[in-house]
Amino acid sequence: MKIRNKSLLGLLLPVFVSLQAHAEYQLVWADEFEGNSLNASYWTIETGGGIWGGNEMQYYTNSSDNIWVSDGCLHLRVLKQNKNGYEYTSGRVKTMGKKEFTFGKMEARIRMDNGKGLCPAFWMLSHNASWPNGGEFDIMEHINSENIVYGTIHDWNNGNLISDHGTKYNIDVTQWHTYGMIWTETQISFYVDNQVYWSKSVADGSYFPNYLQYHEPYYFLLNVAIGGTWPGAPDEHTCPAQMDIDYVRVYQETDNSGNNGGDSGCNIINNLTLNDIYYTNSSWQEYNNGSASANGKDLYIELPEASGTQWQAQTKWNISPSYTLLQGIDYTLEFDITSNTALPKVSAKAYTFGIDNVSAAYGEFALAAGERRHISLSGTASSDCPNAGLLFDFGGNPAGTVIQISNILLKESQCRPSIINNPPAKQTFISPNPCHTQITLVNEAPNACVRIYDTSSRLVGIGHASCTDTSRLPRGIYMAVCNKKTYKFMVE
């Protein structure tokens, strides 16, 4: 069992969100910065100075004076201290080669200091090219003591920088805010606290000539720069200054099957409905005047009012569509949970109703009053569990307790995209098939994004329907995914 504890007081919005019409996003990766060290499987610390342009004045180090994890946050701090000929030191981290994503909703919860000459940033670069080539997304940049943050898209074409940006005004950056970007094949939007403030089309090359680079994997960077061309020089009051990052999260759009483009398995749940609920007092007398309801995958549970009496509540939920948990397969159950009172014992599992001794993911934990936790429970099904459901059990709770559970995911670790054999003429099909150097998706929009996966579901290529390069792929079977449809083809 894995349980990740995260205090998110004041962050009351469910993390399963819909920020665009007809688009639902599910969490596929996150770093909540628990523990006391940076997760080296996610992040690399960059060191050095003077190699990223802008005439900046800092030298990036791997010192715990500049980079550290504590109290559930990553901290990046700039100090006035000499290092290798630079007057200032600071911190910079990236996920290059470790966590990279194409499309989705990317966000981080951040607070930062004001100060003359400061430039903290949360941004993304392409894995497939060295800066400044390959494009750049600046999800959040801030300078000096402005009450403005910037969201910017960059392209580099024939030696010329092409950029466009939007601004969010009247924001106190010293307070916690969620800064994010919604990235699709045709549009990129920037938001603060779930309010979109600027969008830009990337559907074609009319503004950004190399727009297809925005269909490639990008990685995250976080850093605090000081001085340079944009913010100007610091003064004697600037340092020390820091940026605190509560979390970085990635959500990706799902289709009706629950598949997404992330790296965390396939979500099984589309919807939850209440199957059964009962409440008992400390004498095991059952009461039925509580309530429980579901809104998609968000649950609301209220225990009955009975002053001074301790209660136990058990809720069972049907999974839609119907699903069988398979023997020997690893499953992960994830959710966020908060309660207005302390919950000394909570248990959760995925199982088949009536087969209590068999489950695929089970765990127990406690919850403090007002705390919000992200829970991840993992386990292997010991036998098949047909018509699987979820159970949440709350023991020893005071009456009047209100429990909210959101962002519920049940994921199978070994999932593959479904194969749709080439349909007949007048529908989309691959030509040539088998192929040697390239494929075309006939009857598909020429600029539609095409992603190529091998039989292990690893992304191995990106192109568009009119022409996708396959010349570097070894001989074998592959899948081309376009507009949420998957087509099998062979490279000879």
Q: Are the C-beta atoms of 154 and 194 separated by less than 8 Å?
A: no
Mean pLDDT within 199-219: 87
Of 381 and 345, the structure prediction assigns the larger pLDDT to 345
Residues 479 and 345 in one domain: no
- What are φ and ψ of residue 410, in 5° steps? -120, 115
SS3 assignment, position 343 = strand
pLDDT at residue 457 above 80?
no
Query: Are residues 143 and 276 part of one domain?
Result: no
Mean pLDDT of the chain: 80
Nearest to 187 by CA among 261, 105, 110: 105
- Tell me the pLDDT tens digit for each residue of 70-116: 999 999 999 999 999 999 999 999 998 888 888 899 999 999 999 99
Here the tokens at position 160 are: 């010329």
Burial of 272 (0-12, 13-18, 19+ CB in 10 A): buried
Buried b vs exposed e over 147-174: b needs ≥16 C-beta within 10 Å? Answer: eebbbbbbbbeeeeeeeeebebeebebe
Q: Which of 264, 162, 172 is nearest to 213 (CA)?
A: 162
Q: Of 198, 224, 253, at which residue does a domain stop?
A: 253
Q: What is the pLDDT of residue 23?
A: 53
- Whether residue 214 is found in the same domain as residue 310: no
- pLDDT at residue 379 is higher than 80: yes
User: Token match 């990223």: residue?
Assistant: 52
Q: What is the mean pLDDT of residues 254-271?
A: 50
Residues 315 and 446 in one domain: no
On whether both 8 and 87 belong to a single domain, the answer is yes
Which tops the pLDDT comparison, 414 or 156?
156
Q: What is the pTM of this model?
A: 0.54
CATH number of the domain at 335, please: 2.60.120.260
Taking 60 as the threshold, does the pLDDT of residue 243 lie above it?
Answer: yes
Look up the CATH number of the domain holding residue 141: 2.60.120.200
DSSP 187-228: EEEEEETTEEEEEEE-SSTTT-TTGGGGGS-EEEEEEEEESS
Res. 22 pLDDT band, cuts 50 70 90: very low
Q: By percentage, how much of the chain surpasses pLDDT 70?
A: 81
CATH of the domain at 456: 2.60.40.10
What per-residue confidence (pLDDT) applies to 305? 59
pLDDT at 11 over 80: no
pLDDT digits (tens, 9 = 90+) for 42-74: 999 999 987 666 788 899 999 999 999 999 999
Q: Are residues 468 and 401 in the same domain?
A: no
Is the pLDDT at 18 greater than 60? The verdict is no
Based on the structure, what is the number of domains in the chain? 3
The band of 393, judged by pLDDT with boundaries at 50, 70 and 90, is confident
Report in angstroms the alpha-carbon separations of 164 from 167, 188, 207, 214, 247. 11, 11, 9, 14, 27
Domain shared by 23 and 162, yes or no: yes
Q: Is residue 300 in some structural domain?
A: yes
Task: Check pLDDT > 60 for residue 261.
Answer: no
Mean pLDDT of the region 403-426: 60
Contact 420, 479 (CB under 8 A): no
d(CA 185, CA 201): 9
> What is the domain extent for residue 344?
271-412
Residue 99 and residue 243 in contact, taking contact as beta carbons nearer than 8 Å: no
Residue 349 lies in a domain: yes
